[in-house]
Structure 1
Amino acid sequence: MSDSKQLAPHGQICWLEVPVTDIERAKDFYTSVFDWECSPQGTPSPLTGARDVIHMFTKGDLHGAFVTISEDCMVKVYDEKSPGKAPVLPTFCVESIEETLKVVESKGGRLHVPKTDIGGGMGFFARFIDSEGNLQGIWAQN
């Protein structure tokens, strides 16, 4: 009997873990900015360095978890003292960069790169630092 569930295309992101120190703050931030659906209850974490639970989230085909970790285990992907370092950067599609950045800032995030034209009709991007110190990107066609 074959599984009727369709697999994501090879190479597509299938899971995203977001390290956080304050789960409620992170859930509030991401549900407000991207309308992610977050599980109200945590699940025991099998990860070394993580606290006891992870909190799952979904948005369309994206699935992942907020991994609660202690401050001393947090690896900040953006360090204001070393702005030239380039981490792996997830970029999320949004309808409006301007409106999304308003929500980001209202929820404790900070603008990192303002709305920027990519050129060649390829749309626009911006970057922000989330409520937990993680650098994230957003993209919109207009």
Structure 2
Amino acid sequence: MSDSKLPPYGQFCWLEVPVTDIERAKDFYTSVFNWECSPQGSPSPLTGARDVIHMFTKGGLHGAFVTVAEDCMVKAYDEKSPGKAPVLPTFCVESIEETLKVVESKGGRLHVPKTDIGGGMGFFARFIDSEGNLQGIWAQN
């Protein structure tokens, strides 16, 4: 993302949706929300993912369907099953480091440290909020 196209800080910048049937999911989301889905998948580096991710967009929303095994689907984060893939909202932030400091000061916990996505696509991190929800953050630098 170029700086001129960054979403405002604190708004969604990425959404991962775990699915077991990619074609069914693409049909559902293109029908319900008119999301534009890539016809081809890309290899996934994510734990629990079977093999590919399929990107989607809708206006300023960007994300991917992540194919996972049936036993990796969960509706909410479960610390007893950390390899399972919940729906994961990811928020655009100015600084991952500073945001994680605030998360921890308010009772949250680090889940995945700052990680380079590669290809100039920025960095992400994940945390568990004060209520036990898994959330993601993203920043260009």
1:25-76 alpha-carbon deviations (Å, 9 max, x no partner): 0000000000000000001001011011000000000000000000111112
Q: Contact (CA 8 Å) 2:129, 2:135: kept in 1 or not?
A: yes
Q: Contact (CA 8 Å) 2:124, 2:137: kept in 1 or not?
A: yes
Q: Contact (CA 8 Å) 1:20, 1:132: kept in 2 or not?
A: no
1:56-105 alpha-carbon deviations (Å, 9 max, x no partner): 00000000000000011111249999999999897999999999999999
Name structure 2 gaps, 5 residues minimum. none
- What secondary structure does 2:56 align onto? strand
State the structure with more CA Rg.
1
Q: Displacement, 1:8?
A: 1.0
- Output the CA distance in 2 between the equivalents of 1:2 and 1:128: 25
Name structure 1 gaps, 5 residues minimum. none
- Output the CA distance in 1 between the equivalents of 2:102 and 2:19: 19
Q: Contact (CA 8 Å) 1:21, 1:132: kept in 2 or not?
A: no
Greater mean alpha carbon deviation, residues 21-30 or residues 115-124: 115-124
> Normalised by the size of structure 1, how large is the TM-score?
0.52
- Output the CA distance in 2 between the equivalents of 1:71 and 1:52: 14
Greater mean alpha carbon deviation, residues 97-106 or residues 86-95: 97-106
- Output the CA distance in 2 between the equivalents of 1:108 and 1:44: 35
Aligned residue pairs total 141
Determine the structure 1 residue equivalent to 2:119.
120
Greater mean alpha carbon deviation, residues 93-102 or residues 23-32: 93-102
Root mean square deviation, CA, Å? 12.5
- Output the CA distance in 2 between the equivalents of 1:106 and 1:11: 18
1:110-141 alpha-carbon deviations (Å, 9 max, x no partner): 99999999999999999999999999999999
Q: Contact (CA 8 Å) 1:33, 1:100: kept in 2 or not?
A: no
- Output the CA distance in 1 between the equivalents of 2:2 and 2:122: 40
